[in-house]
Structure 1
Amino acid sequence: MKKINLLTLLSLVALLLFAASCDDSIDTPPAQEDILPERFSIDVPDPLANRNATSARENARAEEDQLNGNEIYELLSLFIAIGEGAGELTEAILGGVSQFDVNGEFFFSYESDDDQRIKNLTVTSDATYEDVDYQYSLTITDAASEGNDDGGKAMQVFWNKDVIKGVAILKPYNIDRIKDVDAGDAIYKIEYSEESTDYDAHMIVTIDNLPLADPSVDPFAISTLKMFVGKTGEVVDVYGNSYHPNASFFTDDQGFNWAFVASGVHKGSIGVAEVGLPAGNLNSDDRAVLLVENSLKNVFTSQIQTEFPGLPQEQIDAYLKNTEAPGYFNSDGFIQGGESPDPLFDQFADRLQDLTPYNPAVIAALDVSFE
């Protein structure tokens, strides 16, 4: 059996669907409308989504006096990038077939070039996910695992075409048992919509059951994440939470939530963010509680005073460097916290006041599943 990778396979299926739509008559019928959505994700401004911000994660606890506001904001940009990447993966897969006129239903089996396992792909119309009806769906399963509790599902996409709205769910382990052998039950969900809202378009990324690294290696590893991204014109707003069950700062308290709001220029060099560090089990969706009472500076100050009573103020100030809100970012990454580096940032800092993260307790208990 010929081996093909996922994007090649999807392109082939789209081509077959187009061919199947033609009849056997001499006259070629008019081409039908391509059913695939043209878009399924939103780019987060580069300053706010930094996939290269790994040095902070690796070094934040190497020396106790290195842990300050810089590391917290830099880690935030990494966590946002993880959420953005889930949306990009979905759009990349759909983009592999968007050049063809996909306009019908189909079933196809193939051997994946990624893990050499048989996968089944199905395209259907009139589908339902979480009690919402959609015009179309695409499902990929790992054939030998279809008897498992998850049905062997590697990917499901549900969408409407007229006004783009859809949901995609991906399980990396069932996509590639070699590359993602350690992914376990990790699962991603991307909700994308261009229906009338406060934004031209928005997406919500939810990630559940990420495997945790050894806390001594990566104490800030993510277990779950939920992130909203809304775009109007060239302005992009972001808010959400990531849960880090092994995270600790100065005391023995463990399990924290990065609760954040951010705004910036699409494909620009300006980004502003505010982050709170509530306990992972805090049950509140009050902005003042999440971002003011549990602000980065307040949490650090409280923990430092608890762990190091009587510490001289100059040493406390070293830990509190750049813990003031908000944090400012440019094309080079995090700049500083507190004072605006340029009036160009001010309009985005003002937007943060209208954004609120999710409830940390709800994020810690996320449950994403296939239909």
Structure 2
Amino acid sequence: MFIYRCKSTFPDPEKDIINYIIAFIVNYFYTGLDKIKLEHNMKKVFYLLPLVTAFLASCGQVNDFELKGRFADDSHNGKLIYLQMPDKDPAKFISIDSVQVQGANFEFAGAADSIQMLFVAGGGISRPQLFVAGEGTVEMTIDSTGMAKISGTPLNNKYQEYLDKRASLAKEMQEEGKKISEEYNKAKEENRVTPELEKETEAKYDALYQKTRKYPYDFVKENASNVVGRYVFLDRGRSFTQEELEEIIPSVSGQLTGNPRFQLIENRLHALKTTVVGQKFTDLKAQTPDGNPIALSDYAGKGKYVLVDFWASWCPPCRRDMPDVVKIYNQYKDKGFEIVGVSLDSRKEDWIKGIEDLNITWPQMSDLNRWDSQLSTAYAVNSIPHMVLIDKEGTIIARGFHVNELAQKLSELL
């Protein structure tokens, strides 16, 4: 929690009773009681005096911090920069202070009752920038694009190292992904695509993705005892596997219990446990494109193999694979096989157009909440396309596989 320093000015008792009492005592010793114009009943003031001792003792135990920011030039002179802390709603922030940029520079100074993560935002900063408050002086440089780098204390240096590594991995993923795509497209042009090549290509993509995905877990594992590690966990924990979450959660739960973002991660772990292979399917309820109610239980556990296909009209890999899904559906739909599509679209018109463009004829549902969908959350889905195969009795028998594997599985089952 961010706290203010003890003040020597006489505060408004309606807004700050503790500092009002402190000011009362200071004025008593320096000016005499008769010179103080009290705005509250004296009995009420002296009743609260025992609180002052504890408050004064705490003033010497806070963690001071100073943030010195500098832009690449003075084009942001006069703009307001805000110091913020996270709200209970993880998507919102609370502004606790503001300063004007002087030339190319701005500064914040204050104290916190613990080492914690705070944000700066405002004119010239592309998005809220994080830093660790409570360790001393932090330096923040903002480049011409509005991106910031932090340094100056051990935890801030550690967080910047994390950001740099993630940026490096993202660049590597983009470059290597482009090469893999070019190789596959060339093979396609030369009519050299085989099931083996498709599997090999998917394996390359997956290895690249896993390398990028796993780094935050490795970082959190090493830093679970500090605020930077816990912040990264809150930020990236929803991409962790069941095994990774089961390892990390016990080491951070004491500090994060009650945090809404931590609750979302705990919910993900619960969803992972209840939708693994061997578990009965978790029911999903939403609406069809026509606005009618639909449930997964209308189809699953009714004597057919049911594929739950998580997709979206805006998802290129989903659109790429959909012709193969259509082909498989037409081949097996009269042999005891059904598909229930779960769209992560946010606009109904896009969803409907995607269904029409891709020749999808099987049942569809969506709550039109994109990644905030309760449907994908129920199955801990954090990337699409994602397939879940349910047997005739309603038991999950496979999930997270590629469309090519679907054809092979159905050929064995039907």
TM-score of the superposed pair, with normalisation by structure 1? 0.27
Which structure carries more strand by proportion? Answer: 1
